Structure 1
Amino acid sequence: MKPVKVARFDAADYLDSEEAIAAYLNAALEEGDADLLMAAIADVAKARGIAKVASDAGVGRESLYKTLAPGSKPKLETVFKLMHALGVKLTVAPDTAHA
């Protein structure tokens, strides 16, 4: 039997619409895990093009890679810049689980 070749999954390959990007980031936000959110932002940045996102956010490309690295703790201001560069915004809703 021949070995099965498996391609590595890359979420960026599927983030091809504004709706898909918004749903993906919302799902990450709902988990309440900052590292997961930053990983999702990194996937979206990759889908949009790292160089373009860095330029739009007003940061250097290398700085963006460091910001998006696992375990990074970016400033909230930086997250806002990235979200703006990605064309999305954060919103607040009541947490019905704590109502």
Structure 2
Amino acid sequence: MKTKTRSYDAAEYLATEEEMAAYLEAALEEGEPALVVQALGTIAKARGMSQIARETGLGRESLYKALSLGGNPEFATVIKVIRALGIRLHAETATK
């Protein structure tokens, strides 16, 4: 008998604002830009990519591509997505 599997999609498990913020925070802590971009894409997908596209004025397909693991969005796109998601970034000194 074959076992049926399906791809893991983190967007299915991001139900609250707090979960989404924690997910992005974890990606930021890793310090890997591609991971941060992918996390933003996952959060946007959890929220609804069509809604984010409308709020940013960007195309839905363009957002999927830009916010994928291999995507390389402009910083302006990242800022638009962050605003549309209702997320605030802040800076603090690094602790050693």
Q: In the aligned structure 1, how far is the partner of 2:68 from the partner of 2:23?
A: 18
Structure with greater Cα Rg? 1
4+ runs deviating over 4 angstroms: none
**Structure 1 residue 67 displacement after superposition:** 1.2
Q: In the aligned structure 1, how far is the partner of 2:37 from the partner of 2:56?
A: 15
**Structure 1 residue 70 displacement after superposition:** 2.6
Aligned to 2:22: 23
1:11 aligns with 2:10: yes
Structure 2 alignment gaps of length 5 or more: none
Q: In the aligned structure 2, how far is the partner of 1:36 from the partner of 1:53?
A: 19
- Percent of paired sites with the same residue: 47
Structure 1 alignment gaps of length 5 or more: none
**Structure 1 residue 3 displacement after superposition:** 4.2
Alignment of 1:53-92 (within 5 A): 53-92=52-91
Q: In the aligned structure 2, how far is the partner of 1:75 from the partner of 1:8?
A: 28
Pairs aligned (count): 96
Cα deviation 1:6-63 (Å, max 9, x = unaligned): 3322110111000000000000001010110111111111111111011111111122
**Structure 1 residue 68 displacement after superposition:** 1.3
Q: What TM-score, normalized by structure 1, do the two folds share? A: 0.87
Q: What TM-score, normalized by structure 2, do the two folds share? A: 0.89
SS at match of 2:11: helix
